[in-house]
Structure 1
Amino acid sequence: MAIAMLLDLAKCTACRGCQAACKQWNDLPAVKTTNRGSYQNPADLSYDTYTLIRFKEYERPDGSFAWLFLNQRCLHCTEAVCVDVCPTGALQHNELGFVSFDESKCNGCGYCVQFCPFGIPRLSEVDKTSTQAKSSKCTFCQDRVTNGVEPACAKACPTGAITFGDRDALIAHGKARVEELKAQGRADARLYGEKELGGLHQMYVLEEKASVYGLPEDPKYPA
């Protein structure tokens, strides 16, 4: 059985419980930030931040305004270029479908950072305490799911915006949600990830076009 998560952005309130749960479970340090005039915090993904809620103010074609939220993290592609370009085997497909990561094998080459079509992986900084950079990304809580426990972010989400389970069942649920949104006037609503790059294991229910959220409309495997 292939597993996945469905991220229903129409249900996301940007509480960032998923961000906090990800930090807590993975024992990641807080990132020092400054006020930049936005509630989005931190500003970007980093070696110590696997999950980020991005904030976007959007004017719809009818003139109304919306505050949209993108839950940004590794989308665990089936056709994962990061797995193919990794020279050490640090990135591998787990039998459940997600892209696992073994930091001990990472040599810091940065190929995954360079070729990811979604711009997700990040490298650590090289300083006095670390002479070699390491890559990082969402691991799909591989230590939890391989032991039958849902990912920390899904466990923490208070609105049901993050659903974990069988991928086929989530696709069916996502399509039903898209029809609900279209009935509410969201003509551009879509399920993102069913077929893109062979099928993503982190899929989105979008209210607007993918490009509005900063996602590629039709992501391609780099040539």
Structure 2
Amino acid sequence: MGFFTDTSVCIGCKACEVACKEWNATPEDGLTFTGMSYDNTQGLSADTWRHVAFIEQRKPVGLQEHGIQHAAADHTAYEGLDVLGMAADASQDGGGLRWLMASDVCKHCTHAACLDVCPTGSLFRTEFGTVVVQEDICNGCGYCVPACPYGVIGQREDDGRVWKCTMCYDRIGDGLEPACAKACPTDSIQYGPLDELRERAAARVEQLHEGGVTDARLYGADPADGVGGDGAFFLLLDEPEVYGLPPDPVVTTRDLPSMWRHAGAAALTLLGGMAAVTLATRRRR
């Protein structure tokens, strides 16, 4: 199971952030002016598991023909609403300024480096294929923080333990949608079986291309990428770097097996040398 986040229909309402915080009882982020448009959360952290970014650009928006639906066949809440067309009209009035809005979240990687480095088993793979932290087992070592290729995992200052999106493990276990997907008014965040979501996302990209939005592309949907595909993938309207995402994410622990092999070979060589010295010493005696 996973998330497909279609940023082309995100309106920046932050309903997903609020729903996530309410359901998971995570601390609020404060109302400090950050200088980052209307973004007071700034990024994902131990206290913010969904983050809606506002990215301002001076770039024209590809216009779509009226009547193109921005929701997939099974998600028609905003049928007929031309969100990108409205943005284009606004950009023309405002001198070519457009906002890219995107709700970011833990990617629930197929090959998750955080799982590789966790020494306590606090991080585990669920029966839904998602990656979850068991806070009562976490010892606050922080090894998983630099291991994440997306910079998703954070530690809380009060106790040092790590926290991140669980894809609402308690809700999906009862057959419910994650809180963020349930609250999203435009179906920008969709939850379901990954295979179905990938098919739906590919059709959506094709639809946008036909409508003139040629920059639309999928991110994290390819099982052949550096992390084996993400359990939470995105439709973007620009390069990944624009959204603060790595263009070519890789499993940061990919070299661990060879490192262990080299370490083992070095240890055996050292033991062999010590044994030879010991044997030679005994012979002299």
Q: TM-score scaled by structure 1?
A: 0.91
More strand by share: 1
- Residue 33, structure 1, aligned to residue 63, structure 2: no
Letter in 2 for 1:12: C
2:10 to 2, 12, 16: 12
1:155 matched to 2:185: no
Instruction: Give every structure 1 segment of 4 or more consecutive aligned residues whose post-TM-superposition deviation is greater than 6 Å.
Output: none
Amino acid corresponding to residue 3 of structure 2 in structure 1: M
Identity of aligned residues (%): 45
The equivalent position to 2:241 in structure 1, one of 189, 207, 211, is: 211
> Aligned letter for 1:110?
G
CA distance in 2, matches of 1:193, 1:207: 14
1:194 matched to 2:218: no
Measure the CA separation in 2 of the matches of 1:59 and 1:31.
Answer: 29
Answer with 62-71 or 8-17: which moved more.
62-71
Equivalent-residue separation in structure 2 for 1:212 and 1:31 (angstroms): 24
- Deviation of the 1:47 alpha carbon: 2.0
Find out whether 1:75 has 2:107 as its counterpart: yes
Report the residue type matching 1:146 in the other structure: G
**Secondary structure at the residue paired with 1:32?**
coil
Matching residue of 1:167? 194
- Cα RMSD over matched residues? 1.6
Q: Could you report, residue by residue, the CA deviation over 1:75-110 in whole angstroms, capped at 9, with x for unpaired residues?
A: 100010011111111111112111021111111111
- SS state of the match for residue 115, structure 2? helix
Matches within 5 A, 1:48-63: 48-60=47-59
Q: Give the superposition deviation at 1:61.
A: 7.4
AA matched with 1:137: K
Q: Distance in 1 between matches of 2:46 and 2:2?
A: 23
Task: Output the CA distance in 1 between the equivalents of 2:167 and 2:41.
Answer: 21
Using the TM superposition, name which of 48-57 and 32-41 deviates more. 32-41
Deviation at 1:155, TM superposition (A): 0.4
Match of 2:126 in 1: 94
Letter in 2 for 1:141: C
- 1:188 deviates by 2.5
Partner of 2:80: none
1:130-145 alignment runs, 5 A limit: 132-145=159-172
Matched, 1:66 2:98: yes
Counterparts of 1:32 and 1:82, CA distance in 2: 28
Question: Could you tell me which amino acid in structure 2 is paired with residue 174 of structure 1?
Answer: A
Secondary structure, in 3 states, of the residue corresponding to 2:9?
coil
Is 1:180 the counterpart of 2:207 in the alignment?
Answer: yes
Equivalence for 2:152: 120
In proportion to residue count, which structure has more helix?
A: 2
By relative contact order (CA 8 Å, sep 6+), the higher-ranking structure is 1
Matched residue, 1:43: 42
User: Match for residue 129 of structure 1?
Assistant: none
For residues 59 and 14 of structure 1, what CA distance do their matches in structure 2 show? 18
Report how many aligned residue pairs link the two structures: 216
TM-score, length of structure 2 as denominator length: 0.72
| Structure 2: unaligned runs, 5 residues or longer | 62-94, 256-285
Give the letter for the 1:202 counterpart: A
Secondary structure (helix, strand or coil) at the match of 2:136 reads helix
